[in-house]
Each structure stands twice: as C-alpha cells, then as structure tokens.
Chain A
Amino acid sequence: MSRTRAPVVARWFAGEGEEFRLLGTRCRACASVFFPREDVQCRNPGCQGDDLEEVPLSRRGRVWSYTDSRYRPPSPYVTDPELPWEPHTLIAVELEAERMVVLGQAVPGVAVAELAVGMEVEVVPGVLHEDAETVWTTWQWRPTGVTG
C-alpha cells in the first residue's frame, strides 16, 4: 500500500537530502528572522514591518543544550502504546547566521552520551510517525562529527 508523505506542520521545512532546510520568514524592513514562521507581522517592537519573505535557515549549527525524554510524552505526541517506549533525544541548536536557537529531535539512535554543548549538528529530513495512510515527516538534528 502506498502512503502519502506529509509534513507534520505545513511550510516549516522543505526539500530532500542535501537540499532539506527548515523554513523561516524574514522581515523585509528590519531583517529579523522567525522560526516558526511569522507571516503577518514582524515581532520586533521597534519595527512596523508587515512584509515577510520565506527564507531557508542555516543547515548547520552548534549544540546549545540537549536532553532526552525517558517517559512517553502525552498526546498530541503520537506513539504506539502497544510498543515499549524508546526515549528520544532533543537538541537545541544555535544557528550562527540567524542568531537564534532552534529545538528539534535528534536522528534516531543518537543518545545524550554522544552529544556535547558546542558540537556541530546539521538538519536532516526525518519521520515523526506513520499511520495507515500517511508518513508524517519532520526535521531532525544529526551530529556532523565536527567538534568545536
């Protein structure tokens, strides 16, 4: 059975493989970047901008902090209660160009013991969960192997 691939949230990311990027928006007046995207008005209190353009965010960043979720999160996170809970790792990543921190899940199999603050990671496409009709896609952070 062929299933549809659908992003867990529309217009937050796009692309495949090396071209995969998180999508934010940038105020044309003051250059502030927003993720999740702001499409109506700029949130800089010193800016009256209401013209925001979509921009891809930096593909790589450095670990600001990290943790994991050893207990099953509640709904609306989707898990199969029939299966044992597999903890997932969360990484908060500093993007240098955008001067912001973006939280995301790590790719499956990356445990907190393999991470350190300051380590370089890159954004890659991932699967959040699947159901009978749909593969729900998301973004994930993956260590590049570069430490700094």
Chain B
Amino acid sequence: MTGDVAVLGAGMHPWGKWGRGFVEYGVAAARAALADAGLDWREVGSIVGADTVRGGYPGYVAGATFAKALGWQGARVTSVYAACASGAQAIDTARVQILAGRADVVLVVGADAAPKGFFRPAGGDRPDDPDWLRFRVLGATNPTYFGLYARRRMAVHGDTTEDFAQVKVKNAALGALNPYARYRKRVTAEEVSASAVVADPLRLLDICATSDGGAAVVLSSVEYARRHGVVDPVRIRAVSTVTPRYPTAVLDLPDIATDSAVAVEPATEPFRASLARVAYEEAGIGPEDLSVAEVYDLSTALELQWYEDLGLCGEGEGAKLLREGATAPGGRIPVNTSGGLASFGEAVPAQAIAQVCEVTWQLRGTAGDRQVAGARVGITANQGLFGHGSAVIAVR
C-alpha cells in the first residue's frame, strides 16, 4: 500500500524517576532505535523531536537538541509540540516527510524528566491560559478531571470501583513483564482499594504517576526497508490527528465548561471515538481486525472509556468487556500489553512514541512474555490537551 511507512527500529530508555536530564533519556532511546534498525545515525535524513515544555529552553526545540547531542550531521530537523499527543504528531510529521519523498529515513524521539507530584502550569499571572485558570480558580488538577469521568461512568453505566481496580490489576501484571516499565510489581485489587483516595472515587493506584523516560522510532519508506534487507517490516498504515467538533458535550481537560449546544446539535460521536474512526478509515480496517491496543490509561476508569471509543464494545459495555477477560492476555483483544501508563507513568512527549514501540514489538513477535500470539494489527490511542488527538494503526 502506497501510504505505508516502515518501522525499522524502536527503542526506549527505561522509565522511572532517574533524576537526570531529558536529553540523556532521548539520546539513549534514539541510539537503541538506531541499533534496532541496524542504521548509523549519519544515514538518517531527518530527525523529528517531540517537545517538552517543562524541559525549559532546549525542550521547546527538542529536534535540534537531540540532533546536537547525537552529533550534528546535517539532517533535516523538526520540533513538534501537541501536549500528550506530541509523540504521535512527531510520528505523523516523519511519515509525511517520507511519503512526500523528502527523506528516506526519519528518526523520531521524545523524552521527558517530569517534576514530582501534580503537573502544574508555568508560573506568572496568566489569566488568558485556560490551563492556568483551572488551577487558579478551581484547584482542578488532572486527577480531579479523571475523578469526574469515573463518577460519571458509575452513575451512567453502573461501573464500580472494583471494575476500576481490575484495570490496574491487569496492567500491573503486564508491566511486571516489561523491562522498560517503571513499576514492575503485580498489584491486587485489595492494594488498590487500600491506597489513598486522590480524587473521589479514584485512588492513588487508579491514577498514573509522572515519570522520566524516553522513546524513539526509526521510520523509513517501505522501498528503503526492502533495500535495507527488511522484507516484511511492521508498517504504519494510519495516523489520526483530528480535532474535536463543535460543540463539545463532554467536559474535557483543561476546560472549565463545555461548549453550549444551543445553536448546533453535538455530533453523536464523541471526540475520542472520532480519533479511532479516522484511523480505521485511513487504514481500511475495523476494530474486529485488531490484535492488540495501547490506550491512554491516565486513570483506570479512562481505559474502560477507550474500549468503547475504539469500538471494542458498545457504549457502556467497557466494564463488561474487562470482566469477560477480553482485554487481558489470552483475550480477544488484549489492551495495554506494555503495562500502560499505569506501569510507565507519564513522560509526556515520549508516551505516544512508547505506545508505537510496544505495538511494533508485538507485531514483530518479539514482546517476550507479553507477546500476543499471532499479532497482526495494532492500534494506539491518546489525547493531548487543547484538542490534540492521536491514534496510530500499525500492521504486519
């Protein structure tokens, strides 16, 4: 298929709280991805960095920062910022460059050294920034939004805190098998329910941590991959980066209110579902074709929402799908085989790339003890602040 690009290499720096700079994590991930691709950095025609705003000045221009650290070699350079969707937008930028014939091989890198505790906006008095306003006026942290969504699911769909805990149990068991995950211990439902409430009804173990980490992929044209001796590469077949449609009917981070639906009827399809649909349409596949999915489990309850938004089950049936074991290893469609954000924590510019790394390894059949037998099609899904969506579909 002409729209495909090959994933020649994937690499990560292990996630955790390492106390070092983000450049170090990004360079380690980049070198791992290049080694995996069997390529010298000097053979790379373009580098795309996913930015981190907390990294200060060099983080805003991550492409050049990583290129300099790897050694200036004259490659085309791009830096991309799209909040949590930065990594997917970096991958899309690389893909477009390849499909446009601007580069044969592109290195995509994202890395972060996250602060301790809650994410917070930059300093100063900035009442023109909706992210600053929700902290200033309401003290509304990210987990309070996750709490609102979780409570809403309980009221509308009958989800229970036990269902939420079982998402953590599943993802922690998978993270225990992943050498790149920050948390590598199995967790029981009792441990989830014994952890402190952060934002009712969610507890500490329902909510993802903030982490240091890095991830990178090397993408190329399919023709280049063949010339390079990779006959049957994992291919990226679709990248969805669509925005929401007015009026939004679901309160979303970091907004204080939804749009009004007085003048325009809301789309029947919510934003997250539209992300997946656009990816499915571009790839020419449907949810029934999936072997594996990596979704953005900022909270346990949100993972259940993604099941529905990806079309793995009907609306309100996420908890049922989980209880049936369909999203666990051995189930019909295992979700977050990497261990998810539950096991990794957030390293914002790296995480959408890390999702693609996991799918790549699954489709190659090299995911070790986490391997989904015979995996052929994988999707990743993610959402960045301010209407940045992302979903990537890869096939083998």
| Known contacts A9-B127, A32-B264, A90-B144; A45/B246 CB under 8 A | yes
Main secondary structure of the interface of A (DSSP, over half): loop
Taken together as a complex, chains A and B put the C-alpha atoms of A88 and B151 apart, in Å, by 16
A70 touches B200 (CB 8 A): yes
> By the criterion of a CB under 8 Å from any partner CB, how many residues of chain A are at the interface?
47
Residues facing B in A69-122 (CB within 8 A) are 69-71, 73-79, 88, 90, 92, 98-105, 112, 116-118
Taken together as a complex, chains A and B put the C-alpha atoms of A43 and B132 apart, in Å, by 21
B121 touches A76 (CB 8 A): yes
| Known contacts A44-B263, A74-B118; A101/B257 CB under 8 A | yes
Other-chain residue from B117, B152, B247, B257 in contact with A103 (beta carbon distance below 8 A):
B257
Task: Mark each residue of chain A from 36 to 75: 1 if its CB lies under 8 Å from any CB of chain B, else 0.
Answer: 1000000111110000000000000000111111110111
B148 CB within 8 Å of chain A:
yes
Closest chain A residue to B141, Cβ basis: A73
B261 CB within 8 Å of chain A:
yes
B196 touches A70 (CB 8 A): yes
User: Which residues of chain B come closer than 8 Å to A8, judged between CB atoms?
Assistant: 136-137
Other-chain residue from B138, B246, B247 in contact with A104 (beta carbon distance below 8 A):
B138
| Known contacts A44-B264, A68-B200; A73/B256 CB under 8 A | no
| Known contacts A74-B118, A88-B139, A103-B140; A35/B251 CB under 8 A | no
Taken together as a complex, chains A and B put the C-alpha atoms of A8 and B130 apart, in Å, by 14
Other-chain residue from B125, B134, B251 in contact with A101 (beta carbon distance below 8 A):
B251
| Known contacts A65-B148, A67-B148, A117-B151; A102/B199 CB under 8 A | no
B138 touches A74 (CB 8 A): no
B199 touches A64 (CB 8 A): no
| Known contacts A43-B246, A66-B148, A69-B139; A36/B156 CB under 8 A | no
A65 touches B149 (CB 8 A): yes
A30 CB within 8 Å of chain B:
yes
Closest chain A residue to B154, Cβ basis: A117
Given A88-B139, A103-B256, A104-B138, 14 additional A-B pairs, CB 8 A: A9-B133, A30-B264, A33-B262, A35-B256, A44-B246, A65-B151, A65-B152, A74-B118, A75-B135, A100-B261, A102-B257, A103-B257, A117-B151, A138-B137
